[in-house]
Structure formats: structure tokens, C-alpha cells
Chains A and B, each alone.
Chain A
Amino acid sequence: MINLLKFIAPYKKRVIAGLLFLFLQVLGTLYIPTLTAAIVNNGIVPGNMDYILNTGVLMILVAALTGGLSITATYLSTSLAASLERDIRNALFRKTQSFSVTDFQRFGTASMITRSTSDVIQIQQAFAMMMEMLLPAPLMTIAALMLAFAKDRFLALVIMGTMALVIIFAAIVSRKAMPMFVALQSLIDQINRVLRENIIGVRVVRAFNRVDYERRRIDKTFTDYAGTAIRVTKIFALMMPVIMTMMNLCTLLILWFGGKRVGSGLMQIGDIMALVEYSLLILFYLIMGMMVFMIIPRAQACAARIHEVLDFKPEFAGPPPAGQKFERKAKLEFRHVTFRYAGAEEAVLSDISFTTGAGQTTAIIGGTGSGKSTVASLIPRFYDIQSGNILIDGIDIRNLPLSELRQKIGYVPQKAFLFSGTIADNLRHGKKNASLEELRHAARIAQIDDFINGLDQTYDAPVAQGGGNFSGGQKQRLSIARAIVKKPQIYVFDDSFSALDFKTDAQLRKALKHEVRDAAVILVAQRISTIMDADQIIVLDDGRIAGIGIHRELMDSCLVYQQIAHSQLSREELA
């Protein structure tokens, strides 16, 4: 939590102004009971009506001024909290954009979302509460105790003692309750998790007759939660009565000893009333402050999670290598590439070597888990390999600035993903200033132009979050068009034709062939019909190259390829 205070630094002046207003507000609040005491002492006791009226007017002025001050202080502290929220979130999001794919997987997408949305909000709320409720507490305590000391030292000590007792007691109760709060939070998470699983998996639950089992599991999370919640409430039930009793005893002591002093002429009667009021004010602010302490552990957990992201050293940290000059040859080479995912025991890819260049189509085929998608994701350097080299035009991709490398590559992911905006916005991702004609051209190649033209707003048609308003096949074709608009040197299609029917698949590949004469194409696919006429087919089996060549050659020499072919094509077609 403290670490996040650096985000306040730019607002130093506002913080100081806020504190000043807060302090003045505290003084104003305390001045009212002081004036009440004066009315009693100098107005009521001697029977001075003028004094009473004059003081009354003064009190109203003080109250109005204090009210104004406290509203201004509130304005300052809430804008400060909002600025803090904005700045932390900006810093957080900026940081995440420097993360590699592995870094993202390390944190998990869901967790990253929580960290940059609700965790930041928690910090903002905690900060606002601290400014509004926690900060006034020490100011009020000190100022009120000073005033009390001025009236009577002994009674001021009585008040101090009571406060100390209240704080100690509250600390003990909180310490007992704190672990329960933590438990409560994780129980809520558990309820959410179990329920979500049951709602999503309702067909499976019913198909396998696990309805009763699941119900017991759900009810157990409910019961656990209720039990803990009740225990927490019961502990807190003790808090207010005990604190109130302490306070009431304090009032009694003030009354008793104050009365004695008034009797012996050491003190005036209005001062008793002022002292009682001071003690109540201190208590009010103290309890308000303590309430903030209850939310601090939660905010602290959020702060820690935010810091984990802010302090994380991204995989590809360090200064980017200087830009390299090279010709546009679109030559791509894998040289003895071996790669394992972070934490995995076995390598996904072992000793992969191949070369391809402009105008060439290289297809990669293989079974589920053979590593073919991994090959595709290594080219834009989503992951770093452990040994070997990946070279573009003879330069190791690790020696290229990431943005320069990725500028050369038109990557079409397995799972098509679009961003909210318009279709044109999405197609322009790779080339901001692409003309409408360029978009059309790309869309025609991707076999999606007709579809777009059929939409009400054609290229300006809205795209929902993640592209949710389009079917899988439409999204795939749009993301293929997006890659074509970019005019990259190397196309990487990671199983991007899977949602297309065979006819569209064939037409698309035919149109693409003319377009990409000066680019290299890497085509990962499952369907043999998609890759049969590639210039080079790499057959992967358990992360190793089982065969490399053209269709005819592989049909003769590669057992894995033959098996794949036989599982998909009829004998006549293979003949």
C-alpha cells in the first residue's frame, strides 16, 4: 500500500491544501462546543442576554465556515483519489503492454483484468476513505486533547486513558476478526467458482447423474460462508457495547470530578459540558478511523497484486536492439530450434530446421499436440526458444526490435479475435492509413467482401467486443483480410482456415496465391486438402520433423503423412 504513495507525489500541493483544510475544519468543529461552554459560563450563569445572542451569531458563522471548509476538503480528497485511480491504472495498463505472451500466461488473463479494474477501484476507495475518515482522527484527537488540557489537566488525562483503552480493545477484536475476513473473501470466491462450474457444465452434471453430488458441494460452500459470517458478526457484536460503556464511564468521571472542581470554584460549569463534548468528538473520529482499518487489509492485498504487475520484469525487457538494414527477401530459416514452455518438462519442439522464402508456401501438418501451432507462434517471437536460431533474412529475430520484426509478419491466429469498433478499424490494424480500396482488395482475397457489402453499414459496420457479433468463419476471414492489408513479408496462418467450408477454403487459397508472390507463407493446417499443393510440407510428430517435402514425396516416404492422408481422403482421391 505504501509503495503506491509514489503516485500521489505529483499532487503534493493538493495534498497539503487538503490537509490544511482538514485541520481548519477540525478546529472549527471543536470551536462550537467551546463557544457553547462560553454561553453557559458567561451568558446563562450571569444572565447576560446580549452575550448569548452575539455568541450565537458567531457560532453560526463558525459552523458555516467549517461546513464550507469540510466540503472543500472533501472535493480535494475525492479528486485526489480519482486521480490516483486513473494514474495507477494508466501505469498498470502501460506496463502490461510490454508483457510477452509468457508473461501474460504467468498472470492469467482473468487475473490481469481483475488487477487493472476492480483492484484499482479498491485502492481508490480505500484512499478516499483514508482521506475522509482516517486522517481527521489523529488531528481531532490531538486538537481536542490540547483544548481539554487547557480546561483541566486531570480530566484530559482521564479522556486520554479512555481513548487508549478503546483503541487497545478495538485492536484486540480486529486482530481476532481479521483472519475471518480473509477467510470470508476466499469463501465468496469459492461460491462463485462452484456455482459458475455448475451453470456452465449443467449438461455434463446431468448427463453423468452428479446432480446430488454437486448440490451437496454447492450447499457446503453456502454453509461454510454463512457460518463464518455469523462468527464475524458475533465478535463485532461485542465491540460497540463495550466501547460505549467505556465512553459512558468517562462521562461519569468527568461529571464527578468536574462537579468537584466546579464546587470548589476551580472550573466553570460550562467547561464540564465542553469536556464531555470533546471526548465524544474524539471517540466519533476514532471509531470512524478504525472502520477504515478494517478495509485496509483488503486494499493491501489489492495493492500487492498491482505491485506484482508493476514490479514484474517482462521477459523481453532491456533496450531493444538497434534497427538493422536488410533487403526485402522474406527469407525465413529455422535452425535446430528446440523449445519448451515455461515449467514444462518435455520440449514441445525439438531440433526443427527448415528454410523458406518469397513466393513459397510452407505447410505444417501434424496431430493434436504435435507442436504445429507452436512453430507459428515462434515466428512473431511470442516465445523465446531455448536453443537454435530463427533467422529472417539471415538475422536472428532476437536481434531485431520486436516492433520491426512484427511489422514484417502477417499473423492470423487460430482463434480469430476482433476488437470493438468498425470492420474498417479492424482491417486497418496493420496499416493505419490503408485506403478503402486496399481494404476491399484484401476482403475480396479473404472471400469476405460480399458479406461486408451485404451489411447495412458495409465497411463501417460495428464490431462488438471480441468480434462477438460475427460467426467463427466470418471472424476468421476478417482476420485473414486484416493480415493481407498489412502487406507483410511473411504470412503466418495458424490453422486459420478450419472454420471455413472446403469450397471457400479453396477459393481463398487460390486468390491468396496471386497476392503473395513476393512473400513467404507459413500455413499450419489439419486438413490435408488445404496443404496438398504447398511447395513444402513439414510433417510434425510429437515435436519432431517426421518428414519434409511435397505431397507426392511424402505419400511415398512418410508413414505419419500417409496415416493422416488415409484418415481424411478416400482411396480414389489418393490414387
Chain B
Amino acid sequence: MERDNLENDVFHMLDNMPAGKAKNVKGTAARLLKQLYRQKWQLIAAFVCILFGSAFTLAAPLIIGQAINLIYEGIISGRPFEVNVGTLGNIMLTLLTLYLFSAVFSYLQEFTLAGVAQKLTLSLREKVSEKLTRLPLRYYDQHKKGDILSRATNDLDKVASTLEDGLLQFFSATVSIVGSFALMLAISPRLTSIALATVSVSMAAATWIARKTQRYYAENQKALGEMNGTIEEAFTGHQVIKAFNMEQAAIRNVEALNQALYQAGRKAQFITYAVDPAIRLCNQIGYILIAVQGALLVTQGRISIGNIQAFFQYVNQASEPLTQLAHIVNSMQGAIAAAERVFVFLDEEEEAPDPPNPREISLPQGNVSFEHVRFGYQDGAALMNDINFRVKAGDKIAIVGPTGAGKTTLINLLMRFYELQDGKITIDGINITEMSRSRLRSLLGMVLQDTWLFGGTIEENIAYSRENATSQEVIQAAKAARADHFIRTLPAGYQTSLDDEAANISQGQRQLLTIARALLADPAILILDEATSSVDTRTELEIQKAMATLMKGRTSFIIAHRLSTVRDADHILVMKSGTIIEQGTHTELMKQNSFYADLYNSQFASTAV
């Protein structure tokens, strides 16, 4: 039995997920090979090592056969026969040399190939991370985050592990199969035909089982998915389960799904593990047939006993790699499908590059204007047709309107997260497309609706907006955002880690942290997109006062649901279905007594009920 067989079993068992099919196998394989070509010297060296190593491995059985013949003839001849340096010495020495060389080459090949797969994946991963920075936000909107993530992790892991084992095995399997068959034919064409017959039977059996496996695995995956989903739901909604005394019902539900998974899993597992005994049985029957036929041939004197021994070893050396090749081809298909998903990702359309000679604003004032802006998230449908407005430096602009009116979109366009279909946006008279994105964004400090904090300390999260911010500056910003007090009540204060669920930080508190972060950036223009929606109104008022001082003379944009927040804005833009339907100050708009006035009254008149 060969070592490849061992690895093969394990490899096969671990790689039990059915592979998705690639759409363009040739193209993807060619592209993967092109990536591999960069490491051509390592590959060539490894291939040379495999050739030499296999040659030595193939030669060994013949030499052992000679030794056995020698001993056999010794007994048959009836003469006293002694094994010593004179009789077997040369053969032993030759074998020893062969084995040592074969070991050295086999080590060298694995050593050279060790890095090849990982380096390839690393270079692809680096492309992925670069791509992540260049993709337009549109891409992130349209794809599930789990999907993007799994391309960089699972898919590339699959490519790496298949290349790591598969590449080596593919080369060496091919060499052993060709070499062994040639030598088998040389020893006995008749025995070779028996070997061929049994090998084809076992391959057919393996293919048949593999097909079954896929079906059972699909069923297993389905049952697993249902159960995982239910468990996830039960844990996420555990408070509700408690509040409604649903514990027993939840247990019954999970147990039923678990039983279904048990049924499906049992079959899938059995069929996976049953492959190997089944193949082993086929091979053993072949082995026995060869043994009997070979024995008969020896008694007829048509073949030497040593050659029979050698023949057996060649059958092993050829049949194991054959089944192995089937596995490799299977997992290669999976790897190519995985690589294809990665390549599709790498080929996604990128953001338009920054202009070669970006324009600078040396002393930003904060004059903003939208001129005939036309925009739609999808190419065909336009959400905004003709948006026009001007903002004087230092003004506080409020954007109000019902959900889906396009308020956030307006801000996204100013940040240049999306490209306009027509028209232009200028800051201090300069079209934002003529600036570099990084310069543009450094002018704008933004607090988003969804509070994104990463798994570091509170201080690190606030300091995120400005490299090299001092602790003192962080605390200043936190104070202005009215976050200082609650931060100090946390177990570790500013050093409290946010990946700790026990930190008990509410949505409102998270919003305060993101406000502190934006304030620390000290931008020329501040944008608050529903930034205080989860903060109570009293705290909100305090934050507004603190910000009024900080932002004195600077332009700010505020999107808010609560109209009480925006009453004192210098200018209010009222949006509906992608257009600005009214604009003016609170008093002006109330006087007009149309949409804004309705909206405002609906929020306050309710107290009469």
C-alpha cells in the first residue's frame, strides 16, 4: 500500500462537500495556470524531483523481485544456499540507495511545492483586498456581505488546499500510472489485462457511489441549513421565548429538525465512508485473481516468482493513483468553480479613477451647490431627475421628507459614494469629480444612520477618524458628543472593548460614539444622517448646542425624522420621491401651509387624540 492512498482517504473524507460547477472551466483554469506560471521555477524543480523520485520508486520492486528470485532459485536448486554479502549484498546496496534517493526527492518536491499554493492564494487575496478598496458602493449594496466574505476566505481556502495536495498528487499519480503500466506490460500482458479489468470495475463503482454521495449530501445540507436557522432564531429571540414561556415548544421544534438531520446525516456519512471498503474489496478480488493466475504461470515456468512480487507492487502503484486521480479531478472541479467566483469578483467594474491632476481647495469655505443633478441606483431608472440647490458657507441645512424620498442619497452623492448620471456637485465652486476622493472626503465629516463600530476599544473607535489623535482630543470629542459620562460608567472606561457583548452599549450610546468620531475629524462640512435617531431628545438638544459652538461658521447638513430637531435650521430642503418640493426656513415653510406644514403638524397634533 502506498502512502498516497492514506492521504487520499483522509483528503476524500474531509473534502465531503459537493462542488459547485464552474461556468467557464477552460478560461478559469487558464487564468489560474497563468497565476501559477509566476512560480514556474518552483514548479519545474518539483516536477523534476517527482520524475526522479518516481523513477527510483518504480525501480525498487524489480530489484526486490531479483532478490526473491535469487532466494527462490536457491531453494528450488536444492543446493545449500546462504544469504550473505556475496549473494545478496549488491542487491541490498542498490535497494538502499534507491530508497534513500527516493526519500530525498520526495522531500524536495514537497518542500518546493509547500509555498506554491499558499503564495498563489496570497497573491489572489491581496488582489481581493485591493479590489475591495476600488469597488463602487453600488457593489456592496447589491451583494450579501457573507457572499463577498466567502470569496476571500472559503473559496480561496479551497483553491489553496486543492492545489497544495492536488498539484503534487496529480503530477506524481500520472507518472506512477504511466510507469507502472509500462512495467506491468513488460512483465506480463496477460496479468496486465486482469489488472485493467478489476481497476475499471472499482473505478466504475467509485463513480457510482460518488454520484449517490452528492445527492445525500445535498439532502444533508438542506436539513442542516434548516436546523441551523432554527437554532439561530431561537438564540437571537431568546428573550421573546422566555417572555412567552415558549421554551418547551422551542425544544420540541429543534429536536424534530435534529432528528431529520440525523436521518439525512447518517446516510451521507455512511455512503462517504463506505466508498473505501467497497473499492478495497474490488482491488482485493483483482489481487487474488492475479495471484492465482500468476501462481499458475510460475508453476508453468512462464514467469519468475520475483516478477510476480514486482507485479503486485506495480498494480498497487498504478491503481491507487487511479482512484486518487478521480478524487483530484473532482476536487479540482470544485477548486475551479471556487476560483471562478473569485475571478468574477476581481473582474467587477471599479470606481472611476481619481483625476490625474486633482484640484485642491486650500482654504475650504463650505459653499455647496447641486446643479441639475440626475441620479439613479440602477442605470435605467432615475431616482432624481433635476436637483438644484445652493448652500452658503456656514449654513445649517436640514433635509426632511418621508422614507425613500432620497435624503440619504443626496448625502451619498455629496460624499461621491455614487457617480452622477448628469449634472454636477461643487464645493467652493470646484466640481467634486475634479478633486481626489480622499481630499473631498477629508472636507466632510459624516455620521451615518447605521452606527459602525469595530471590535477595538472605545478610544480606538473614536480616534478612527483621525490618525495620531491624542487621548485628550478623544475625550474632548466625547464630551462634545455627550458620551464622556456614560463611557466613564463602563467597566474599563475609554479602554472598554466593543467586541465584548457584556459591555451593554445601547444603540443610542453607539450613536453618541459615532458623533464623537465625526467631531474629532474636525471637518469643514459636517453631515448628520439620522445621527441622533436613537438618542433621547433632551440629550439631542445638548449635543446640538455643543455642536453649534464647535461648528460655528461651518456648513452642516442634517437629515432627521423628528422635525423638532430641524426647526432652527437656516435652510430646510423638503424632499419627496427624489425631488425637492419645497425649501426655505421653518417659518416660511409653515406659512406656505403645504407638505412641510402637514408633516410637521402630523408629528405634534397627535397629542390631541
Q: B556 near A: Cβ within 8 Å?
A: no
- Cα of A509 to Cα of B606 in the assembled complex, Å: 11
Q: Does A197 lie within 8 Å of B454, measured CB to CB?
A: yes
Q: Taking A36-B291, A255-B67, A413-B239 as contacts, is the C-beta distance between A263 and B81 under 8 angstroms?
A: yes
Q: B372 near A: Cβ within 8 Å?
A: no
Q: B378 near A: Cβ within 8 Å?
A: no
Q: Does A112 lie within 8 Å of B607, measured CB to CB?
A: no
- Cα of A208 to Cα of B83 in the assembled complex, Å: 82
- Cα of A105 to Cα of B317 in the assembled complex, Å: 57
Which of chain A's residues has its CB closest to B295's CB?
Answer: A52
Collect the chain A residues with CB atoms within 8 Å of residue B490's CB. Answer: 344
Q: Does B258 lie within 8 Å of A86, measured CB to CB?
A: yes
| Chain B interface residue count, Cβ-Cβ cutoff 8 angstroms | 155
Q: Taking A63-B281, A237-B114 as contacts, is the C-beta distance between A345 and B489 under 8 angstroms?
A: yes
Q: Does B130 lie within 8 Å of A215, measured CB to CB?
A: yes
The interface stretch among B29-37, B248-256, B573-581 is B248-256
- Cα of A15 to Cα of B141 in the assembled complex, Å: 53
Collect the chain B residues with CB atoms within 8 Å of residue A94's CB. Answer: 251
Q: A256 near B: Cβ within 8 Å?
A: yes
Collect the chain A residues with CB atoms within 8 Å of residue B277's CB. Answer: 67, 70-71, 74
Q: Does B114 lie within 8 Å of A233, measured CB to CB?
A: yes
Q: Does A291 lie within 8 Å of B10, measured CB to CB?
A: yes
Q: Does A245 lie within 8 Å of B99, measured CB to CB?
A: yes
Collect the chain A residues with CB atoms within 8 Å of residue B287's CB. Answer: 32
Q: A573 near B: Cβ within 8 Å?
A: yes
Collect the chain B residues with CB atoms within 8 Å of residue A420's CB. Answer: 229-230, 233
The interface stretch among B101-109, B330-338, B419-427 is B101-109
Collect the chain B residues with CB atoms within 8 Å of residue A105's CB. Answer: 501-502, 504
Collect the chain B residues with CB atoms within 8 Å of residue A466's CB. Answer: 233, 236-237
Q: Does A245 lie within 8 Å of B606, measured CB to CB?
A: no
Residue in A63, A233, A259, A366 with the greatest tally of chain B CB atoms within 10 Å = A259
Collect the chain A residues with CB atoms within 8 Å of residue B280's CB. Answer: 67, 70
- Cα of A75 to Cα of B64 in the assembled complex, Å: 39
Which of chain B's residues has its CB closest to A368's CB?
Answer: B508
Collect the chain A residues with CB atoms within 8 Å of residue B603's CB. Answer: 502
Q: Does A568 lie within 8 Å of B564, measured CB to CB?
A: yes
Q: B273 near A: Cβ within 8 Å?
A: yes
Q: Interface SS of chain A: helix, strand, loop or mixed?
A: helix
Q: B1 near A: Cβ within 8 Å?
A: yes
Q: Does B273 lie within 8 Å of A74, measured CB to CB?
A: yes
Q: Does A79 lie within 8 Å of B266, measured CB to CB?
A: yes
Collect the chain A residues with CB atoms within 8 Å of residue B265's CB. Answer: 82, 85, 124
Interface residues of B in 205-235 (CB under 8 A from A): 224, 227-235
Minimal beta-carbon separation of B534 from chain A (angstroms) = 7
Q: Interface SS of chain B: helix, strand, loop or mixed?
A: helix
Which of chain B's residues has its CB closest to A199's CB?
Answer: B145
Interface residues of A in 30-71 (CB under 8 A from B): 32, 36, 39-40, 43-45, 47-49, 52-53, 55-56, 59-60, 63-64, 66-67, 70-71
Collect the chain B residues with CB atoms within 8 Å of residue A255's CB. Answer: 64, 67-68, 88, 92
Collect the chain B residues with CB atoms within 8 Å of residue A409's CB. Answer: 243
Q: Does B251 lie within 8 Å of A413, measured CB to CB?
A: no
Minimal beta-carbon separation of B485 from chain A (angstroms) = 8
Q: Does A128 lie within 8 Å of B299, measured CB to CB?
A: no
Q: A169 near B: Cβ within 8 Å?
A: no
Q: B591 near A: Cβ within 8 Å?
A: no
Q: A116 near B: Cβ within 8 Å?
A: yes
- Cα of A350 to Cα of B250 in the assembled complex, Å: 35
The 8 Å CB contact of A89, one of B240, B258, B452, is B258
Minimal beta-carbon separation of A267 from chain B (angstroms) = 10
- Cα of A71 to Cα of B280 in the assembled complex, Å: 11
- Cα of A201 to Cα of B145 in the assembled complex, Å: 11
Q: Does A380 lie within 8 Å of B243, measured CB to CB?
A: yes
Q: A521 near B: Cβ within 8 Å?
A: no
Interface residues of B in 517-555 (CB under 8 A from A): 517, 521, 534-541
Q: Does B537 lie within 8 Å of A568, measured CB to CB?
A: yes
Type the 1/0 row for B56-68, where 1 means its CB is closer than 8 Å to any CB of A: 0000100010011
Collect the chain B residues with CB atoms within 8 Å of residue A146's CB. Answer: none
Q: Does A369 lie within 8 Å of B486, measured CB to CB?
A: yes
Type the 1/0 row for B157-184, where 1 means its CB is closer than 8 Å to any CB of A: 1001000100000000000000000000
Collect the chain A residues with CB atoms within 8 Å of residue B103's CB. Answer: 241-242, 244-245, 248
Interface residues of A in 237-291 (CB under 8 A from B): 237-238, 240-245, 248-249, 251-252, 255-256, 259-260, 262-264, 269, 272-273, 280-281, 283-284, 287-288, 291
The 8 Å CB contact of B148, one of A32, A44, A199, A566, is A199
Q: Does B606 lie within 8 Å of A567, measured CB to CB?
A: no
Which of chain B's residues has its CB closest to A264's CB?
Answer: B82
- Cα of A50 to Cα of B132 in the assembled complex, Å: 74
Q: A455 near B: Cβ within 8 Å?
A: no
Collect the chain A residues with CB atoms within 8 Å of residue B261's CB. Answer: 85-86
Collect the chain B residues with CB atoms within 8 Å of residue A503's CB. Answer: 602, 606
Q: B6 near A: Cβ within 8 Å?
A: yes
- Cα of A203 to Cα of B416 in the assembled complex, Å: 11
Q: A10 near B: Cβ within 8 Å?
A: no
The interface stretch among B119-127, B362-370, B380-388 is B119-127
Q: Does B606 lie within 8 Å of A505, measured CB to CB?
A: yes
Interface residues of A in 146-171 (CB under 8 A from B): none
Collect the chain A residues with CB atoms within 8 Å of residue B1's CB. Answer: 280-281, 283-284
Which of chain B's residues has its CB closest to A570's CB?
Answer: B604
Q: Does B295 lie within 8 Å of A40, measured CB to CB?
A: yes
Minimal beta-carbon separation of A140 from chain B (angstroms) = 12
Collect the chain B residues with CB atoms within 8 Å of residue A8's CB. Answer: none
Which of chain A's residues has its CB closest to B110's CB?
Answer: A237
Q: B137 near A: Cβ within 8 Å?
A: yes
Q: B26 near A: Cβ within 8 Å?
A: no
Q: Does A252 lie within 8 Å of B92, measured CB to CB?
A: yes
Q: Does A208 lie within 8 Å of B441, measured CB to CB?
A: yes
Minimal beta-carbon separation of B414 from chain A (angstroms) = 11
The interface stretch among A187-195, A385-393, A438-446 is A187-195
Q: A313 near B: Cβ within 8 Å?
A: no
Q: B442 near A: Cβ within 8 Å?
A: yes
Which of chain B's residues has its CB closest to A60's CB?
Answer: B288
Q: Does B284 lie within 8 Å of A32, measured CB to CB?
A: yes
Q: A382 near B: Cβ within 8 Å?
A: yes
The 8 Å CB contact of A287, one of B6, B140, B236, B285, is B6
Q: Does A510 lie within 8 Å of B295, measured CB to CB?
A: no
The interface stretch among A218-226, A300-308, A330-338 is A218-226
Type the 1/0 row for A115-141, where 1 means its CB is closer than 8 Å to any CB of B: 011000100100011001100000000
Collect the chain B residues with CB atoms within 8 Å of residue A199's CB. Answer: 132, 140, 145, 148-149
Q: A23 near B: Cβ within 8 Å?
A: no
Residue in A93, A101, A214, A283 with the greatest tally of chain B CB atoms within 10 Å = A93
Q: B96 near A: Cβ within 8 Å?
A: yes
Q: What 5 pairs between A and B have smallest CB-CB spacing? A: A67-B281, A368-B508, A237-B110, A56-B292, A259-B83
- A-B CB contact pairs (8 Å), 26 listed: A44-B305, A63-B285, A71-B274, A89-B254, A93-B250, A105-B501, A113-B231, A199-B149, A201-B452, A202-B137, A202-B140, A207-B444, A211-B438, A226-B122, A230-B118, A244-B102, A252-B92, A259-B88, A291-B10, A345-B489, A367-B539, A368-B534, A380-B242, A406-B244, A479-B240, A570-B564
